[in-house]
């Protein structure tokens, strides 16, 4: 038996590592604490339940939910193809799928604008059909999906790779066709990875700012999501901005707690590109 | 075992030795000459995997169990993967009861349509399904309703005495229990051919005998290929033994005969015999390094032809000085290793071994590097013809 989870006590870490690590931890915690000290607690509930705040929060939750579904629909096949397929250009495809992760979201927004905008690559054809995507709620969802998709693909592909193909081979020799293997073996086995990927994608969608602002604008009730509302209020009503920020922090903490409670995917380091 | 060993080793099958690559001949023609009304109840494979240096030809009749043994890296698992459809051959063909499984370039039946189940070293039970649903997986995949599949699963769980585990999750089972369920799951798929890849290798040594007993029961009258490293498995479970080395079949025949008269050094090692190859003479054998060995020469051995001499390590006496006497063989030997062997000491000198009693060993005071003389009576040496085993000799019993 291997003593998993028990770190050997004998390993000693140099003292200076502890010091730097503590500084790193503080660097993350201190700004959050600073923000919490600025919260106008007596007015907290009225501030976050004001009309514009609730509208923005509702829009954020709805669009993030839809973009998460879209991420699952597009991301599961992408992850399967990347993890199980063998085809020329596979590595290139992986790099491209991960591109939105390292791309400044504002650049993603511009790219989307030139794709789905009125004079964009697809947008000009779509507008002939009477479909306007840019600066609509659909644009919000597309912007969120664009930036969140790599999170789901990366998380799921990792799960697929670590699950390996041995169970799938066993299922095949028991007479299960590819569809049955996918439905009854592969997906159930990677369900935790899929769930954590979906939660991360949801979180990324919820925090989306740059691409949304560029591609969808900031129309109250239509495209003004919670991060946009916070940014807007920051000038005129800092109390509201801080209160709403705290709401996002609480949601983020809840999501992180929910996702990494049992198994921590190797994705944690790439979650840093919150926004531009 | 009542079959004649000699005939089965010399089946004239008319096959091209698979070493020559792309044989397109149907290797299952025996017994069905002319008539096409009866589908041959035979599994045959004659295929090569170029990038793994594998080239094998093997046939199994209905209800026959064959054990595949061989050193590590010989290609045993590759062979099973090839048959199961998890690996593509570079050339060759395989048939199962008249169905073409693959015919390089033209036919490829995917794993799930072959009706060939593969039981691996690890049970690989699906962790998210109950034991019952694991066993019902095969019938469900074949299109049975949930109820029918579960009924079948209960039957097979009963066959392996594991009905009590039906509602457990695989995580709640011990290794031996899980492997029993895996056997039931493979059987429930009602395969035409069952492949077992070292099914007891990952198990506790105390569990293996019970599982072997179970396998003996369920493999009776079933066509199966079992890869194993344990000669006991071959003796207990298999009708025939095939020795695979470096991707080729180097020896094949009824288990008992292979162990009594091993042709390959690997089989001699399995049987625990000393083996010397050379050329048959009137009274014995001349080894490849020009040593004369006197022994009991088999009638079939023709002087001048290649031959094999075997003798048990227990028949060897060890002396510090050369001993002479007409009906004896004396080999100078440099001791390479000493190890306990039952209540005796096994003295190894290169490929040869001698078993001596503790007191004899104490008198001799042997040490690695010292030179001694292995002496064996001619009556204890059996000499028989060496066969250049071609892969087509791995055919089924007639």
CA distance B134 to chain A (A): 10
pLDDT tens string B224-268: 999 998 888 888 999 999 999 989 999 999 988 898 899 888 899
Judge: A176–B110 Cβ closer than 8 Å, yes or no. no
pLDDT tens string A46-79: 888 888 889 999 999 999 999 999 999 999 999 9
- Domain that includes residue A224, residue range: 52-160+188-275
Say if A257 falls within a structural domain: yes
Say if A269 falls within a structural domain: yes
Judge: A173–B128 Cβ closer than 8 Å, yes or no. no
- Total structural domains within chain A: 1
Say if A116 falls within a structural domain: yes
Judge: B186–A174 Cβ closer than 8 Å, yes or no. yes
CA distance B155 to chain A (A): 17
CA distance B141 to chain A (A): 5
Q: Which of A1, A165, A173 to mutate to test the interface with B (most CBs of B within 10 A)?
A: A173
- Contact list, B146 vs chain A (CB under 8 Å): none
Judge: A173–B111 Cβ closer than 8 Å, yes or no. yes
pLDDT > 80? residue A80: yes
Nearest residue in B to A176, CA atom: B141
pTM equals 0.79
Judge: B124–A167 Cβ closer than 8 Å, yes or no. yes
The closest CB to that of B137, out of A166, A169, A174, belongs to A174
Judge: A173–B124 Cβ closer than 8 Å, yes or no. no
pLDDT > 50? residue A229: yes
Residue B38: the pLDDT is 61
CA distance B122 to chain A (A): 10
The mean of the pLDDT values for chain A is 87
The mean of the pLDDT values for chain B is 84
Say if A97 falls within a structural domain: yes
pLDDT > 50? residue B17: no
Prediction ipTM score: 0.78
> Residue A263's domain is classified under what CATH number?
1.10.3720.10
Confidence of residue A127 (pLDDT cuts 50, 70, 90): confident
Beta bridge partners of B296: B382
- Contact list, A1 vs chain B (CB under 8 Å): none
CA distance B84 to chain A (A): 7
The closest CB to that of B112, out of A176, A184, A188, belongs to A176
Say if A216 falls within a structural domain: yes
Judge: A177–B124 Cβ closer than 8 Å, yes or no. no
- Contact list, B84 vs chain A (CB under 8 Å): 169, 173
Residue A48: the pLDDT is 86
Say if A249 falls within a structural domain: yes
The closest CB to that of B124, out of A166, A176, A181, belongs to A166
- Contact list, A177 vs chain B (CB under 8 Å): 112-113, 141
Residue B325: the pLDDT is 66
pLDDT tens string B93-136: 999 998 999 998 788 999 999 999 999 989 999 999 999 999 99
Nearest residue in A to B84, CA atom: A173
Which of A6-20, A159-173, A255-269, B182-196 shows the lowest per-residue confidence on average (mean pLDDT)? A255-269
Judge: B128–A188 Cβ closer than 8 Å, yes or no. yes
Residue B27: the pLDDT is 42
Residue B10: the pLDDT is 38
Say if A80 falls within a structural domain: yes
pLDDT tens string A97-125: 989 989 999 999 999 999 998 888 888 88
Residue B389: the pLDDT is 54
- Contact list, A178 vs chain B (CB under 8 Å): 112
Q: Which residues of B touch A (CB under 8 A)?
A: 84-86, 110-118, 120, 122, 124, 126-129, 137-138, 140-142, 185-186, 189, 191, 195
Residues B9-29: what's their mean pLDDT? 39
- Contact list, B127 vs chain A (CB under 8 Å): 189
pLDDT > 50? residue B392: no
How many angstroms from the chain centroid is the CA of residue B213? Answer: 18
Judge: B120–A185 Cβ closer than 8 Å, yes or no. no
Say if A155 falls within a structural domain: yes
């Amino acid at each position: 038996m291997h003593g998993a989870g028990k770190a050997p006590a004998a390993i000693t870490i140099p003292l200076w590592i502890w010091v730097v690590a503590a500084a790193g931890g503080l660097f993350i915690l201190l700004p959050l604490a600073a923000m919490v000290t600025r919260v106008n607690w007596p007015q907290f509930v009225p501030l976050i339940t004001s009309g514009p705040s609730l509208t923005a929060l509702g829009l954020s939750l709805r669009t993030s939910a839809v973009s998460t579904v879209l991420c699952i629909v597009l991301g599961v096949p992408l992850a399967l193809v990347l993890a199980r397929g063998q085809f020329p250009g596979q590595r290139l495809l992986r790099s491209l799928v991960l591109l939105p992760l390292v791309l400044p979201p504002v650049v993603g927004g511009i790219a989307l604008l030139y794709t789905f905008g009125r004079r964009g690559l697809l947008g000009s054809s779509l507008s002939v059909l009477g479909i306007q995507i840019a600066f609509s709620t659909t644009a919000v969802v597309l912007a969120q999906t664009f930036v969140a998709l790599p999170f789901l693909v990366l998380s799921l592909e990792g799960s697929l790779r670590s699950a390996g193909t041995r169970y799938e081979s066993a299922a095949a020799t028991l007479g299960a066709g590819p569809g049955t293997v996918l439905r009854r073996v592969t997906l159930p086995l990677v369900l935790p990875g899929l769930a954590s990927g979906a939660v991360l994608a949801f979180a990324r969608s919820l925090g989306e700012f740059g691409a949304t602002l560029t591609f969808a604008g900031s129309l109250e009730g239509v495209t003004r999501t919670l991060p946009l509302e916070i940014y807007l209020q920051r000038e005129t009503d800092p109390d509201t901005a801080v209160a709403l920020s705290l709401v996002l922090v609480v949601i983020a903490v809840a999501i992180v707690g929910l996702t990494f409670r049992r198994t921590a995917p190797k994705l944690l380091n790439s979650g840093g590109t919150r926004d531009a | 075992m009542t079959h004649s060993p000699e005939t089965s080793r010399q089946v004239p099958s008319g096959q091209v030795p698979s070493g020559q690559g792309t044989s397109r001949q149907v290797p299952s023609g025996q017994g069905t000459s002319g008539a096409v009304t009866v589908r041959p109840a035979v599994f045959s494979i004659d295929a090569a995997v170029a990038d793994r240096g594998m080239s094998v030809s093997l046939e199994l009749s209905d209800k026959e169990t064959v054990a595949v043994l061989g050193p590590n890296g010989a290609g045993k698992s590759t062979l099973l993967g090839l048959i199961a459809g998890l690996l593509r051959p570079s050339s060759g063909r395989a048939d199962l009861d008249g169905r073409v499984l693959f015919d390089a370039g033209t036919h490829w039946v995917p794993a799930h349509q072959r009706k060939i189940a593969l039981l691996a070293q690890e049970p690989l039970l699906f962790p998210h399904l109950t034991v019952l649903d694991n066993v019902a997986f095969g019938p469900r995949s074949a299109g049975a309703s949930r109820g029918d599949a579960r009924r079948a699963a209960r039957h097979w769980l009963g066959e392996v005495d594991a009905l009590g585990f039906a509602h457990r999750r695989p995580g709640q089972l011990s290794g031996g229990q899980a492997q029993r369920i895996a056997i039931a799951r493979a059987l429930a798929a009602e395969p035409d051919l069952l492949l077992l890849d070292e099914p007891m290798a990952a198990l506790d040594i105390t569990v293996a005998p019970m599982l072997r007993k179970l396998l003996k029961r369920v493999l009776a009258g079933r066509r199966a290929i079992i890869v194993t490293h344990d000669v006991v498995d071959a003796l207990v479970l298999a009708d025939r033994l095939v020795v695979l080395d470096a991707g080729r079949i180097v020896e094949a025949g009824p288990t008992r005969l292979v162990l009594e008269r091993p042709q390959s050094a690997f089989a001699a090692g399995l049987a625990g015999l000393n083996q010397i190859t050379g050329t048959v003479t009137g009274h014995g054998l001349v080894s490849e390094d020009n040593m004369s060995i006197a022994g009991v020469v088999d009638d079939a051995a023709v002087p001048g032809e290649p031959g094999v001499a075997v003798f048990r390590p227990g028949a060897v006496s060890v002396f510090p000085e050369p001993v002479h006497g007409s009906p004896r063989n004396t080999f100078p030997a440099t001791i390479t290793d000493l190890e306990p062997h039952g209540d005796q000491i096994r003295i190894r000198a290169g490929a040869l071994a001698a078993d001596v009693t503790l007191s004899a060993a104490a008198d001799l005071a042997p040490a690695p590097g010292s030179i001694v003389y292995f002496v064996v009576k001619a009556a204890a040496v059996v000499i028989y013809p060496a066969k250049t085993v071609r892969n087509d000799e791995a055919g089924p019993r007639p």
